[in-house]
Chains A and B, each alone.
Chain A
């Protein structure tokens, strides 16, 4: 049982890291250390943390513009993510991407894509390459409920099912495409039906329960890894914060937000850890200390980072102009 408890504490650590990291990001945004768009994952941590548990180091991830949580759960250092948001060249994309475009070759993290739906065809292609090269790899593709309305979703479902490609499609359904509620933009609101229409096996899971997400993702990833083709996992979740830092949230009731906050995945996991009278206060306090230290170090790293010289402006447009590849 110790192994189980350790594992759950690790899940808790990851969710706490994402939560506290992003709370700090919001502060740093008001201090103008972070600029541009900043989309917070707060409330949705159980999805990224649970799903990424099902992946192996060699697996690929294609993500969205709300990807700080995915990046941290994947093991990209908090320092390089923070430095990226500061625009420093020590950032994981050398300051060329910012919050919406975190990339990391070491962990096969193929970026936050900020065109809704734009990552899905790329994930299909990564999986096609793996299949053609007989690489037993899974490509995990995160996207939101908004992307399900894009043509690229439907084209990608069809193509991946047709060619039996190893893609784990993870729909983070937080009920709003920016400010447009699911039932205002979809004629069919059960998103698993859309995957099923392409013969892509699908399941929906409570995205506020990290253990349920992990279990569902492991089963889905196993299906994908077995060569049976793609899987569509819908994680029903909720964004506690605004869409981005510019959003006055005119489109939803505060009461609705408060209702969902009662299902906050972090206290929920703590309650699970406490069942049978187990004490966890000391563990949580210890995790909070470790996470706070990691974030302090990340900010210090970002602050100490350097600006890329302006003379390098035209680098990374073409490989022969000084790129590393």
Chain B
């Protein structure tokens, strides 16, 4: 089974279990989803519940918000997070504000899924990682599943959430093979997870970078450096406690994400470590982020623009070697 299949299974279960759930977005029906996530669901559930939309991001995201206010549980799919900018007004000015502006009267239980991340030579309008931006906004929750279990379970949990939840699926993960337990179901979204324990440094990351960090940790292990790899999983709200606990064990931290460095999610994590774990640190916290450039097309340039196993390994070695 793939990551894509795990998401499809979650959508299928939700559609079977709850009449209020439906999926809408561009090409989710007849085309089968631009990343084939919803392939086959149209035949199973019909066009009312697997709803193809026109190329009107603002209208169909807004319609998801309105439908959730009207008692439905919509899953809105946006092809890539770059396109979500066309719906930014609806997400930021409406979904994130209605509960507050109405003094608690109107919650917005909408789930919005979108693809994120680079590495497919899709250049500067299909490859960015904007989840860190969204994590800036109070009123929404931001999830970034890296595993099959999370891709499946977080969607089910998001559908039970009374508030707007954005799910960022790194497009390179859709083909990732793995196992999903037969009894897999909703999974908690409140905690980061230590995916690999280690004593020498905490490598804090999420999404596709998690797998690169784990690969780097394996290579480093052969050199005697034991890196702990922490998967943020949820970018808003951040689970400070797990991060601080990890750093209090390892005394060093490297934060890895594909987003741009300035003002990004890594900056936020770094600031929180300074605020809450400074005296546990033996070395300055480092960030390894996307290069501050629109994503280039050429393969070698794109590879250089985002964190890779080799650059993660090098950064870890640098931080571990430094003394406070």
Interface residues of chain A, those whose CB is within 8 Å of chain B, are 60, 62, 89, 91-97, 101, 103-105, 110-111, 113, 115, 118, 120-130, 132-133, 139, 151-152, 155-156, 158-159, 162, 315-320, 322-325
- B interface residue count range (under 10 / 10 to 19 / 20 to 34 / 35 or more): 35 or more
CB distance from A321 to the nearest CB of B (A): 10
- Are the CB atoms of B62 and A124 closer together than 8 Å? yes
- Are the CB atoms of A132 and B48 closer together than 8 Å? yes
- Are the CB atoms of A126 and B67 closer together than 8 Å? yes
CB distance from B170 to the nearest CB of A (A): 25
B64 within 8 A of A: yes
- Are the CB atoms of A125 and B66 closer together than 8 Å? yes
- Are the CB atoms of B69 and A103 closer together than 8 Å? no
- Are the CB atoms of A316 and B69 closer together than 8 Å? no
Which residues of B, 73-110, contact A by the 8 Å Cβ criterion?
A: 74, 89-90, 93-94, 98-107
Beyond A122-B66, A316-B100: 14 further Cβ-contacts under 8 Å? A101-B101, A101-B102, A103-B102, A103-B106, A111-B102, A118-B90, A122-B62, A124-B62, A125-B68, A155-B54, A317-B138, A318-B139, A320-B163, A325-B105
- Are the CB atoms of B139 and A97 closer together than 8 Å? no
Q: Which of A129, A151, A159, A325 has the most chain B CB atoms closer than 10 A to its own CB?
A: A129
Residues of chain B contacted by A120 (CB below 8 angstroms): 59, 62
Residues of chain A contacted by B60 (CB below 8 angstroms): 121, 159
Residues of chain A contacted by B56 (CB below 8 angstroms): 155, 158-159
* CA A89 to CA B162, docked complex, whole Å: 23
Residues of chain B contacted by A155 (CB below 8 angstroms): 54, 56, 58-59
* Given the contacts A126-B69, A159-B53, A316 and B99 also touching, CB distance less than 8 Å: yes
User: Which of B69, B89, B99, B103 makes the CB contact (< 8 A) with A319?
Assistant: B99
- Are the CB atoms of B64 and A125 closer together than 8 Å? yes
Residues of chain B contacted by A118 (CB below 8 angstroms): 62, 89-90, 93-94
B61 within 8 A of A: yes
Residues of chain A contacted by B163 (CB below 8 angstroms): 318-320
- Are the CB atoms of A121 and B72 closer together than 8 Å? no
* CA A122 to CA B54, docked complex, whole Å: 16
Q: List 11 interface pairs A-B (beta carbons < 8 Å), by A numbering.
A: A62-B66, A94-B103, A115-B94, A118-B89, A121-B61, A121-B62, A121-B63, A122-B62, A133-B72, A159-B56, A319-B107
Closest to A93 in B: B103
- Are the CB atoms of B67 and A132 closer together than 8 Å? yes
* CA A148 to CA B200, docked complex, whole Å: 60
- Are the CB atoms of A103 and B63 closer together than 8 Å? no
* CA A175 to CA B253, docked complex, whole Å: 60
Q: Which of A123, A125, A129, A159 has the most chain B CB atoms closer than 10 A to its own CB?
A: A125
CB distance from A112 to the nearest CB of B (A): 9
* CA A124 to CA B90, docked complex, whole Å: 13
Residues of chain A contacted by B107 (CB below 8 angstroms): 319, 323, 325
User: Which of B65, B99, B100, B102 makes the CB contact (< 8 A) with A125?
Assistant: B65
* CA A94 to CA B103, docked complex, whole Å: 5
Residues of chain B contacted by A94 (CB below 8 angstroms): 103-104
Residues of chain B contacted by A111 (CB below 8 angstroms): 98, 101-102, 106
* CA A118 to CA B63, docked complex, whole Å: 11
Closest to A125 in B: B66
- Are the CB atoms of B70 and A121 closer together than 8 Å? no
B22 within 8 A of A: yes
- Are the CB atoms of A96 and B102 closer together than 8 Å? yes
